[in-house]
Amino acid sequence: MQYEAVIGLEVHVQIKTASKVFTRVAAGYGHEPNTLTDPVVLALPGALPVMNKAALDAIIKAGLLLGCEIAPVCKWDRKNYFYPDSPKNYQISQYDLPICRGGSVEIELPGPARNLMGEHKCIPLTRIHLEEDVGKLNHGAADSLVDYNRAGTPLMEIVSEPALHSAEEAYAYLTSLRATMIYGGISDCDMEKGQLRCDANISVRPVGETKLGTKVELKNLNSISFVRDGIAHEIKRQIGVIERGGTIVQETRDFDGMTGTSQSLRSKEEAHDYRYFPDPDLMPVVVDDAWKQRLQAECPELPFAKQRRFLEQYQLPYTLTSVLVWDRALADYFEEAARLSGKPQAVGNWIVNDLLREVGHARIALTASKVRPAQVAELVQLVDAGTVLANAAKEIFVEMFATGEAPGAIADRRGLKAAPTDSGELEGWCRDAIAANPKALAEFKGGKESAINAFKGPVMKAAKGKANPKLVDETLRRLLAAI
Amino acid sequence: MASPVLPSTLAATAAQLAAGQLSAVELTRAVIARTKAVEPRLRAFNSFDESDALAQAAAADARRAAGQGRGPLDGVPIGLKDVIAVKDQPLTASSRMLANFISPYDATVTTRLRAAGAVLYGRLNCDEFAMGSSNENSAFGPAANPCDVTRVPGGSSGGSAAAVAAGEVLAALGSDTGGSIRQPAALCGVVGLKPTYGLVSRYGLIAYASSLDQIGPFGRTVEDVALVLQAIAGHDERDSTSFRTEIPDYRAELAARRGPWKIGIPKEYFGEGLDPEIGAAVDQAVAYYRSLGCEVREVSLPHTPYCLDTYYIIATAEASSNLARYDGIRYGHRSQNAKDIVDLYFQSRAEGFGAEVKRRIILGTYVLSSGYYDAYYLRAQKVRTLIRRDFLEAYREVDALLTPTSPVPAFKIGEKSDPLALYLCDIYTIGVNLAGLPAINVPCGFTRGGLPIGLQLIGQPFREADLLATAHAYDRAHDWNQRRPNP
């Protein structure tokens, strides 16, 4: 029998704000335990929450980027449950009036080949709401310690519809969602730091069946690859259980990405009654059009839109765009260099092949590179004009990356420029080259355009690599035409 | 030992301090001596810190000597109910749960009183977590009524009312969720104001029921209460429910606003259960307002019968959540007998909370439970809207409402053992909290047995200046506040 998986993802994204969501104390990661606290974070007697407007801005912006409907009025609810990582023993969250409803995440599935675009889909969202993060428990042999540094960090919960059907789709969904959040400056989404966390609800059913199967919640998926592996593993496990005549138990399972196995955490979910009610300490917030418009103006073009534009406007090959658009800084870098040089494809090649390689070797961020877009543009123009030859350009690029010096200056200093013009010698070398290769001549005359390249090597050799390739090409063509 | 008696009022004391006839240190010494003399019988304080108070007083004297006095409260000892945070002082809520808790921060009202120069003096007894109407729910034993130490001072701010009545402090702060300032003020014979919800910041007030709690002052006179309100009122960015509103000069307005006012008498507040002596005293007060040329007319607040039920749903729901933080994990009482984390919660809370607190947590948990929320909490919120509408409707015809504050005078400690009987003490005060309105208790007589009687004036939202002026018109013309109980 053929089976279909049905997957819904609940993604928690920490919002990048200077201070916590309900108080002024700083938000952050990697600090001494319990140093990012104050009476509000620790839930001391008498402390009260006050909404951080920057966190609200961020979630509204996230909603706008994902095409959600923004609630005109939103309120805050208390979700009551006891756990030591939750200082108040209730979490301030949003119950029946989430700030964002609907919307979708556009995804791209793997294409038939690396250089071909894959199928695009829009995965619908149920809602996005704002809540506060909890602290962290550290269990020792004799005791358990709590660190409240993370408690009160603004957190978005992004809930998808159960509309994903494979591990690959889940992977694509998270990749796209993560890029969107980073693009919008909403979060850095560093999964190692817990800035993006994902739980997956997975069920399987025979193809054609419309009723959902029993779902299993998969937790602790702490990298995007683990999400894919965990879901693939769970789908296989469920199908295995069904095919052996068993039934799926509703449970929460923990996936271990290192071993690729999962085990049950809770076999039957305890019936939680969170006793939600509106938080009387916080006033409802009215989100008017002016507020939305201000944030809409700050919304950047998203990766897929940018990719469509790059394909159209710059006529770039798909493979280049699929590298360039996923990092906003890289895409901006490219556009700047393309604008300055007027040679988008060449610039794209230099950036994707050379710049990214060097940046990778040096283990630095693109923004830390000494090579700026203007220098890439200059180098591309030098090559295009024939002033610098391809091999020399590669050398220049490596030096430019190390020193930040302008490419023209490097070429001058190191004598890497091709001879600017040539009247006497070049024509002679070209004649010699043509005369030495009658086979290529015949081919060229027979209409094989690329046969011209066979003459260029000998000419360059005679010129000791310093001939202007553009001029070589022109000269050869002129001579060939006259034969 | 004859107990030293303080100057009569805060206003008079302020004048003496300003004129250099009295130093803040002398005043504070007198307060300490008075406290030591009466406390064995009153138990109005959970604790007081002599040396800290004297140091604050010395600082106030130094300011004044340097010509940098901060106004009428500078150097004046003011007591704070033990639910209001004062940095480095105990904050117990009269509960075993917080018996050893020291606050690391100041409430906003505390900060503001410091800025006004007040000497923050002592932690005043109250019902545990401000839940009660007699002060008998204090884990540290009930405060007594200074007029008769075998009787309750009322509650929950019983210690605040008793301390002001007994002359242990010149003014005090309490908190009022369903009558917790006005009812003890009535039972002890002092003035107590519950401001409009949102006028005074709740930051640093231990939350009982967040949508109803409000901090307010106790004093011997309406003028004294106006002086304290001046220092604590106004928007606070640490409390989202605090309101941005212009704060007038309340004392100056007492004289400036002279009426005559249209006064409404809600007929639902004079029914069954009202002690006849109280009814008579309030009638006398009504007659006085008439004599000032005020128009007095009967009005109706038809949803009054639902106030008590509505209150006990909303207040307990909020309390059940607000008190969840007392879990023995980060601070407060932690049971030594716990086997695991769940047991730690159960044991710590079982040992730390008293019976009334547990009763309200259980009630509140129940009304918020899945399947009951709509029938109880949501419906109570709707009724609350209707109750508020009743008041606002009445204010289309009248400027203020006049009622008794408490249906009964101070009763004997231990006399009312049934929680419901105690809840009925608040029937005239609870509607005001549900509607978020300002209201004040003003002494208006004594029973034949010598127990104080109070009248309640209910004002319009954020119009404390009018309410205080209306109350002052009565208060200045009567000498009930001159009687000084000497427990």
Q: Is residue A296 part of a domain?
A: no
Contact residues, chain B to chain A, C-beta under 8 Å: 83-85, 91, 93, 98, 101, 103-105, 107, 202-207, 209-211, 237-241, 317-318, 320-321, 324-327, 329-331, 341-342, 345, 365, 368-370, 373, 377
Quick count: other Cβ atoms within 10 Å of Cβ A190?
Answer: 13
Q: Tokens representing A348?
A: 């794209």
Residue of A20, A24, A42, A82 to mutate, testing the B interface (most B Cβ within 10 Å of its Cβ): A82
Any idea what the Cα angle at residue B288 is, between residues B287 and B289, rounded to 5°?
90
Tell me which amino acid residue B18 is. A
Please report the pLDDT score of residue A419 as a whole number.
65
**B63-120 pLDDT, tens digit each:** 999 999 999 999 999 999 999 999 999 999 999 999 999 999 999 999 999 999 999 9
Identify the CA nearest to B255 among candidates B222, B229, B282: B222
Please report the pLDDT score of residue A221 as a whole number.
85
Q: What is the mean pLDDT of chain B?
A: 96
Flag whether residue A286 sits within 8 Å of chain B, measured between CB atoms.
no
Provide DSSP, A265-320: EESS--------EE-TTS--EE--HHHHHHHHHHPPPPHHHHHHHHHHHS---HHH
Q: Is residue A297 part of a domain?
A: no
Q: Is residue A88 part of a domain?
A: yes
**A306-317 pLDDT, tens digit each:** 999 999 999 999
Tell me which amino acid residue B484 is. R
When pLDDT is cut at 50, 70 and 90, the band that residue B121 belongs to is: very high
pLDDT of residue A26 exceeding 50: yes
Yes or no: say if A266 and A251 are a contact pair by the CB < 8 Å rule: yes
Q: Which of A360, A385, A414 delimits the end of a domain?
A: A414
Which residues, in sequence order, are CB contacts of A430 under 8 Å at separation 6+?
A: A455, A459, A472, A475, A476, A479
Q: Do B341 and A88 touch (CB under 8 A)?
A: no
Q: Do A44 and B103 touch (CB under 8 A)?
A: yes
| Percentage of residues in chain B having pLDDT higher than 90 | 93
Instruction: Assess whether B194 carries a catalytic annotation.
Output: no
How big is chain A, counted in residues? 483
Yes or no: say if A54 and A27 are a contact pair by the CB < 8 Å rule: no
Q: Is residue A419 part of a domain?
A: no
> Which residues on neighbouring strands pair with residue B78, listed in sequence order?
B120, B171
Domains and CATH numbers, chain B: 10-263+398-482 (3.90.1300.10)
When pLDDT is cut at 50, 70 and 90, the band that residue B3 belongs to is: very low
**B240-254 pLDDT, tens digit each:** 999 999 999 999 999
In A, which residues are within 8 Å of B341 by CB distance?
84, 144
Q: Do A42 and B370 touch (CB under 8 A)?
A: no
When pLDDT is averaged across residues B48-53 and rounded to a whole number, the result is 96
Provide DSSP, A326-373: TSHHHHHHHHHHHHHHS-HHHHHHIIIIIIHHHHHHHT--GGG-S--H
When pLDDT is cut at 50, 70 and 90, the band that residue A80 belongs to is: very high
Please report the pLDDT score of residue A268 as a whole number.
62
> Which residues on neighbouring strands pair with residue B455, listed in sequence order?
B404, B442
Q: Do A43 and B330 touch (CB under 8 A)?
A: yes
Q: Do B206 and A39 touch (CB under 8 A)?
A: no
A219/chain B closest Cα distance in angstroms: 22
How many angstroms separate the Cα of A42 from the Cα of each of A147, B322, B348?
10, 14, 18
ipTM value of the model?
0.96
- Distance separating alpha carbons of residues A13 and B197, to the nearest angstrom: 36
Q: Do A283 and B241 touch (CB under 8 A)?
A: yes
Candidates B94, B95, B180, B201; catalytic one: B180
Tell me which amino acid residue A461 is. K
Please report the pLDDT score of residue B16 as a whole number.
94
Mode of pairing for the β-strands spanning A251-256 and A216-221 = parallel
Q: Is residue A156 part of a domain?
A: yes
Yes or no: say if B159 and B46 are a contact pair by the CB < 8 Å rule: yes
In A, which residues are within 8 Å of B210 by CB distance?
280-281
N- to C-terminal Cα separation, chain B: 13
Q: Which of A242-256, A450-464, B290-304 has the lowest mean pLDDT?
A: A450-464
When pLDDT is cut at 50, 70 and 90, the band that residue A269 belongs to is: low
Please report the pLDDT score of residue A142 as a whole number.
84
Q: Do A42 and B205 touch (CB under 8 A)?
A: no
Candidates B81, B134, B157, B416; catalytic one: B81
pLDDT of residue A148 exceeding 90: yes
A84/chain B closest Cα distance in angstroms: 7
When pLDDT is averaged across residues B295-302 and rounded to a whole number, the result is 97
Count CA atoms within 13 Å of residue A343 on its CB side: 18
pLDDT of residue B405 exceeding 60: yes
Q: Is residue A460 part of a domain?
A: yes
Q: Do A45 and B365 touch (CB under 8 A)?
A: no
Total domains present in chain A: 3
pLDDT of residue B326 exceeding 50: yes
Q: Which of A241, A263, A291 delimits the end of a domain?
A: A291
Residue of A44, A75, A79, A80 to mutate, testing the B interface (most B Cβ within 10 Å of its Cβ): A44
Please report the pLDDT score of residue A416 as a whole number.
80
Which residues, in sequence order, are CB contacts of A173 under 8 Å at separation 6+?
A: A9, A105, A107, A123, A160, A164
In B, which residues are within 8 Å of A276 by CB distance?
368, 373
Please report the pLDDT score of residue B179 as a whole number.
97
Do A324 and A431 lie in one domain? The reply is no
Do A278 and A378 lie in one domain? The reply is no
B326/chain A closest Cα distance in angstroms: 8
Q: Tokens representing A481?
A: 């035409």
Q: Do B239 and A282 touch (CB under 8 A)?
A: no
Instruction: Assess whether B180 carries a catalytic annotation.
Output: yes
Residue of A74, A89, A90, A270 to mutate, testing the B interface (most B Cβ within 10 Å of its Cβ): A89
**A349-403 pLDDT, tens digit each:** 999 999 999 999 999 999 899 999 999 999 999 998 888 888 889 999 999 999 9
Please report the pLDDT score of residue A1 as a whole number.
84
SS3 track for chain B: CCCCCCCCCHHHHHHHHHCCCCCHHHHHHHHHHHHHHHHHHHCCEEECCHHHHHHHHHHHHHHHHCCCCCCCCCCCEEEEECCECCCCCECCCCCHHHCCCECCCCCHHHHHHHHCCCEEEEEECCCHHHCCCCCCCCCCCCCCECCECCECCCCCCHHHHHHHHCCCCCEEEEEECCCCCHHHHHHHCCEEEECCCCCECCCCECCCCCCCCEEEEEECCHHHHHHHHHHHECCCCCCCCCCCCCCCCHHHHHHHCCCCCEEEEEHHHHCCCCCHHHHHHHHHHHHHHHHCCCEEEEECCCCHHHHHHHHHHHHHHHHHHHHHHCCCCCCCCCCCCCCCHHHHHHHHHHHHCCHHHHHHHHHHHHHHCCCCCHHHHHHHHHHHHHHHHHHHHHCCCCCEEEEECCCCCCCECCCCCCHHHHHHHHCCCHHHHHHCCCEEEEEEEECCCCCEEEEEEECCCCCHHHHHHHHHHHHCCCCHHHCCCCC
Question: Is the preceding peptide bond at B201 cis, omega within 30 degrees of 0?
Answer: no
Please report the pLDDT score of residue B483 as a whole number.
84
Please report the pLDDT score of residue B2 as a whole number.
41
Tell me which amino acid residue A360 is. G
- Distance separating alpha carbons of residues B269 and B285, to the nearest angstrom: 15
Q: What is the mean pLDDT of chain A?
A: 93
Q: Give the structural domain span for A428.
A: 424-482
Q: Is residue A299 part of a domain?
A: no
Instruction: Assess whether B156 carries a catalytic annotation.
Output: yes
Do A204 and A167 lie in one domain? The reply is yes
Do A279 and A347 lie in one domain? The reply is no
Do A216 and A280 lie in one domain? The reply is yes
A52/chain B closest Cα distance in angstroms: 11
Which residues, in sequence order, are CB contacts of A459 under 8 Å at separation 6+?
A: A426, A429, A430, A433, A467, A472, A476
When pLDDT is averaged across residues A238-243 and rounded to a whole number, the result is 95
Do A320 and A445 lie in one domain? The reply is no
B105/chain A closest Cα distance in angstroms: 8
Which among A45, A78, A146 has CB closest to B206?
A45
Burial class (CB in 10 A: 0-12, 13-18, 19+), A115: exposed
When pLDDT is averaged across residues A44-72 and rounded to a whole number, the result is 97
**B183-227 pLDDT, tens digit each:** 999 999 999 999 999 999 999 999 999 999 999 999 999 999 999
Please report the pLDDT score of residue A207 as a whole number.
94
- Distance separating alpha carbons of residues B172 and A434, to the nearest angstrom: 109
- Distance separating alpha carbons of residues A148 and A150, to the nearest angstrom: 5
- Distance separating alpha carbons of residues A45 and B104, to the nearest angstrom: 10
Which among A48, A51, A277 has CB closest to B377?
A277
Do A315 and A276 lie in one domain? The reply is no
Which residues, in sequence order, are CB contacts of A450 under 8 Å at separation 6+?
A: none
Higher model confidence: residue B117 or residue A113? B117
Do A283 and A322 lie in one domain? The reply is no
Q: What are phi and psi of B233, to 5 degrees?
A: -75, 155
Please report the pLDDT score of residue A68 as a whole number.
98
pLDDT of residue B60 exceeding 50: yes
Q: Which of A395, A414, A433 delimits the end of a domain?
A: A414
Return the SS3 of A321. helix
Do A456 and A357 lie in one domain? The reply is no
Return the SS3 of A379. helix
Return the SS3 of A124. strand
B25/chain A closest Cα distance in angstroms: 31
When pLDDT is averaged across residues A261-265 and rounded to a whole number, the result is 89
Burial class (CB in 10 A: 0-12, 13-18, 19+), B336: exposed
pLDDT of residue A271 exceeding 90: no
Do A476 and A410 lie in one domain? The reply is no
Q: Do B327 and A50 touch (CB under 8 A)?
A: no
When pLDDT is cut at 50, 70 and 90, the band that residue B8 belongs to is: confident
Residue of A281, A282, A285 to mutate, testing the B interface (most B Cβ within 10 Å of its Cβ): A281
Please report the pLDDT score of residue B162 as a whole number.
98
Q: What is the CATH number for A452?
A: 1.10.10.410
Do A266 and A359 lie in one domain? The reply is no
When pLDDT is cut at 50, 70 and 90, the band that residue A422 belongs to is: low
B135/chain A closest Cα distance in angstroms: 20
Q: Is residue A301 part of a domain?
A: no
Do A177 and A210 lie in one domain? The reply is yes
Flag whether residue A137 sits within 8 Å of chain B, measured between CB atoms.
no
Please report the pLDDT score of residue B373 as a whole number.
93
Which residues, in sequence order, are CB contacts of B433 under 8 Å at separation 6+?
A: B176, B177, B178, B179, B194, B197, B212, B214, B311
Please report the pLDDT score of residue A420 as a whole number.
55
When pLDDT is averaged across residues B311-339 and rounded to a whole number, the result is 96
pLDDT of residue A131 exceeding 50: yes
When pLDDT is cut at 50, 70 and 90, the band that residue B1 belongs to is: very low
